[in-house]
Amino acid sequence: DTEVTQTPKHLVMGMTNKKSLKCEQHMGHRAMYWYKQKAKKPPELMFVYSYEKLSINESVPSRFSPECPNSSLLNLHLHALQPEDSALYLCASSPDRDDAYEQYFGPGTRLTVT
Amino acid sequence: GENVEQHPSTLSVQEGDSAVIKCTYSDSASNYFPWYKQELGKGPQLIIDIRSNVGEKKDQRIAVTLNKTAKHFSLHITETQPEDSAVYFCAADTGGFKTIFGAGTRLFVKA
């Protein structure tokens, strides 16, 4: 199973709402990532978890809050977002960093902030 | 930090022709170079990768070459098919979990 799943597929939220994005993988990978992708642009790294600990935060605003409850799950909690936060949010995972660097991406959550 | 440049931004070929996409990177410490294909409405899919101790790698109709001295790497797709139409991203990785992506190439394969 080389699949990363993400829910929901689409999300529309107002600027005062609180919502969460979910990501799951069952490949035994120990690193998980959140990326943001705007239209016609490459993915931009937001957060990296390694062995369930936050390793990288690319200076992301605090209205985005990541959480890694266990090695298979990754959440992104959203609060008080701005319209410019509308984008495709991608989750990815990769094996133990000492062994390989391949990242496997999920299908993404298309987020619209109104 | 690392910077990856990718060319061309758009590429249109006839079905059956070859397609070549080129990337350059700036950080000589980069040691892993993946290529991703992203179809409309989907996440990027890893299609091939190469490590810095290898000069060329092939997988059926897809090949990647790496010139470490010149800091160039390229994706070659032979016998293109309409289902190859997508956006392709090159990337460079120095380790430490950060992958730097190129801007992407939109490939159109005309039947």
pLDDT tens per residue across span A57-94: 999 999 999 999 998 999 999 999 999 999 999 999 99
Task: Find the closest chain B residue to A55 by CA distance.
Answer: B97
Q: Does residue A99 carry a pLDDT above 60?
A: no
Rounded-to-integer distance, Cα A1 and Cα A77, Å: 27
Tokens standing for B17? 């022709």
> Cα separation of A66 and A76, whole Å?
4
Q: Which residues of B touch A55 (CB under 8 A)?
A: 97
Quick one: closest CA in A to B102, which residue?
A: A42
Q: Quick check: A100 pLDDT over 70? A: no
Alpha helix ranges (H) inside B1-110: none
Q: How many CB pairs under 8 A join A and B?
A: 51
**Helix locations, A1-114, DSSP H:** none
Calculate how close chain A gets to B8, using CA atoms only, in Å: 14
* Preceding amide of B34 cis, omega within 30: no
Helices and strands of chain B, counted as H and E runs: 0, 11
Q: Decide the pairing of beta strands B10-14 and B105-110.
A: parallel
Contact B77, B88 (CB under 8 A): no
DSSP code, position A90: E
Per CB-CB distance under 8 Å, the chain B contacts of A104 are: 46
Identify the sign of the CA torsion A104, A110, B2, B8: positive
For B8, the token pair is: 């061309």
Query: Inter-chain contact A41–B104, Cβ cutoff 8 Å?
Result: yes
In our burial notation (b when 16+ CB lie closer than 10 A, e otherwise), range A38-67 reads: eeeebbebbbbbbeeeeebeeebeeebebe
How far B69 CA sits from the closest chain A CA (Å)? 22
Q: Predicted confidence band at B64 (pLDDT cuts at 50, 70, 90)?
A: very high
- Residue B24 touches partner A, C-beta closer than 8 Å: no
CA dihedral of residues A99, A102, A104, A110 (deg, nearest 10) = 130
**Residue B26 and residue A52: Cα distance in Å, rounded?**
31
Q: Is B45 on the interface with A (CB under 8 A)?
A: yes
**CB distance A103–B99 less than 8 Å?**
yes
CB B43 within 8 A of CB A110: no
**Nearest residue of A to residue B92, measured between CA atoms:** A101
CB contact under 8 A, B95 and A43: no
- Determine the pLDDT at residue B95: 77
- How confident is residue B12, by pLDDT bands cut at 50, 70 and 90? very high
d(CA B5, nearest CA chain A) in Å: 12
